[in-house]
Amino acid sequence: MKVGIIGGTGGMGEGFALRWCTNHEIILGSRDKQKAQTISENHMKNIKNSKYADKVKGIIRGNDNLSVAKESDVLILSIPYENIQSTCGELANIIDDNCIVVSPIVPMSRNQDGFYYIPFQEGKKSAGTLVAENLPKCNKIVSAFHTISEIKLKNIEATLDADTFICTDNKESLAKISDLVSEINGLRSIYLGPLSLSYQAEVMTPMILNASKQNKIKHPGIKLV
């Protein structure tokens, strides 16, 4: 399976690439094609020098965002909330009808009290809702991966011991993304409900960050017990 990551040269992109390249072809996207290719090559060198090298059946490569969107079976939008409309506008007529689009985007900011969820404070829409509105031809949109520690995700020797909540209106997409989740050591998928409930998953990120700061907890996640 081809897993594309728009904004894939960042920390979350690195984590997903290192975790999933054992079984899949990972394509990191950037506006700068050369940057994406260079970072992808570095990731491949790192994974080949690790103790997991013999388990890697896939590859990591880089390309420009538009090219990544055209050929992906699953497309992760690892982009800022404020870039949703412009990025989705560029990709709307390029993404294949069978492509699953995943939003791990969290609309949050920070004030003197701590991190806060933008839609609650500023009356804006959840990231999942905004992605769906700007990709009107896509009926396979999934909201997931909001509360994962980037540091732990990049450390392929670390077990996450956490849950990720999934919101989608498409049960076929739910099954496929849940399978991808299960490939990340220690991560469990929890179906939360339709995409309209995406805000419930997104809002947990600023809450976790505030709690971790106040209680000096490093690299927190969340898990239902």
In a domain, 77, yes or no: yes
In a domain, 224, yes or no: no
pLDDT digits (tens, 9 = 90+) for 42-67: 999 888 888 878 888 899 999 999 99
In a domain, 222, yes or no: no
More confident residue, 73 or 157: 73
Which pLDDT value is given to residue 130?
97
CATH of the domain at 168: 3.40.50.720
pTM: 0.94
pLDDT confidence bin for 10, thresholds 50/70/90: confident
In a domain, 161, yes or no: yes
> Domains in the chain: how many in total?
1
Q: By residue range, what is the domain housing residue 64?
A: 2-215
- Whether 166 has a pLDDT exceeding 90, the answer reads yes
- Whether 41 has a pLDDT exceeding 90, the answer reads yes
- The per-residue pLDDT of the chain, averaged, comes to 94
In a domain, 223, yes or no: no
Which residues are paired to 63 by β-bridges? 29
In a domain, 209, yes or no: yes
pLDDT digits (tens, 9 = 90+) for 82-135: 999 999 999 999 999 999 999 999 999 999 999 999 999 999 999 999 999 999
In a domain, 225, yes or no: no
N-terminal to C-terminal alpha carbon distance within the chain: 32
Angstrom distance (rounded) from CA 165 to CA 168: 10
- Whether 187 has a pLDDT exceeding 90, the answer reads yes
- C-alpha torsion sign, points 175, 18, 131, 35: negative
b/e map of 12-32 (b: 16 or more CB within 10 Å)?
A: bbbbbbbbbbbbbbbbbbbee
In a domain, 220, yes or no: no
